[in-house]
Amino acid sequence: MSTQAYVIDEMISAKAIAARVEALAREISSYFASTEKLVVVGLLRGSFVFIADLVREIDLPIEVDFLEVSSYGNSTESSREVRVLKDLRGEIAGRDVLVVEDIVDTGYTLAHVLKLLETRGPARIEACALLDKPSRREIPVEAKWTGFTIPDEFVVGYGIDYAQRNRNLPHIGKVRFLPEAK
Ligand code: IMP
Ligand code: MG
């Protein structure tokens, strides 16, 4: 099945993202100021651009690790089943951990990841999400830090894809599907 034709309308500019990322990093740096070495865990693949910018603004000793969980495949609907595709390389027991996510939508991904990582006994674990769509939430979960709260729109760019495309857009855009040609 081929994907329906669409256009992308800019929703959040690269400049607005950069300013927000800097502010988030400042809050995170002060929150974890006493942490010896913070483990920053990026959820692949959607958070790779966000985490790259975020860590460069965090003024603390950090380690970076990645966790890959399954997501939407090539559709815009959540499967609600979350599987670990690639686990962390490092141990997090006794450590302070920051989970970095691109979008919290239904909440299943972040809730599952936090629950899983909590079983490993971190000292503290918090999450930072670039985007939040609270109107889509199906289970209660919240990132301690959120970049932007957005309406129920399918978005791409700044690491976020639609069917593996558009991750390289420097801004966040809204996907607008075009009517099928008859
Ligand atoms: P959740 O488990 O429903 O909260 O979905 C979280 C994951 O779904 C995110 O990490 C994204 O990878 C993906 N996702 C949710 N909304 C969008 C969107 O608007 N565009 C692209 N991916 C999305
Ligand atoms: Mg994701």
User: Into which CATH architecture does domain 14-151 fall?
Assistant: 3-Layer(aba) Sandwich (3.40)
Domain ranges of the chain: 14-151
The residue contributing the CA closest to ligand 1 atom 15 is 105
User: Which of 102, 105, 132, 161 is labelled catalytic?
Assistant: 105
Of all protein residues, the one whose alpha carbon is nearest to atom 5 of ligand 1 is 105
* Minimum CA distance residue for ligand 1 atom 11: 103
Dist. CA 175 → ligand 2 center (Å): 17
pLDDT at 126: 98
Residue 80: what pLDDT?
66
Average pLDDT per run of 10 along the chain, which is 182 residues long? 85 98 98 97 98 98 96 58 92 98 96 96 98 96 97 98 97 95 70
- DSSP output for the chain: -PPPPEEEEEEE-HHHHHHHHHHHHHHHHHHTTT-SSEEEEEEETTTHHHHHHHHHH--S-EEEEEEEE---TTSSS--S---EEE--SS--TTSEEEEEEEEESSSHHHHHHHHHHHTT--SEEEEEEEEE-GGG-SS----SEEEEE--S--EEBTTB-BTTB-TT-SSEEEEEEPPPP-
pLDDT of residue 182: 67
Whether this prediction's pTM lies above 0.85 is answered by yes
Distance CA 60, CA 58 (A): 6
Which residues sit with their C-beta closer than 6 Å to ligand 1?
46, 71-72, 78, 101-110, 154-155, 160
The protein residues having their C-beta less than 5 angstroms from ligand 2 (an ion) are 46, 71, 102
* Predicted pLDDT at 70: 86
pLDDT at 35: 96
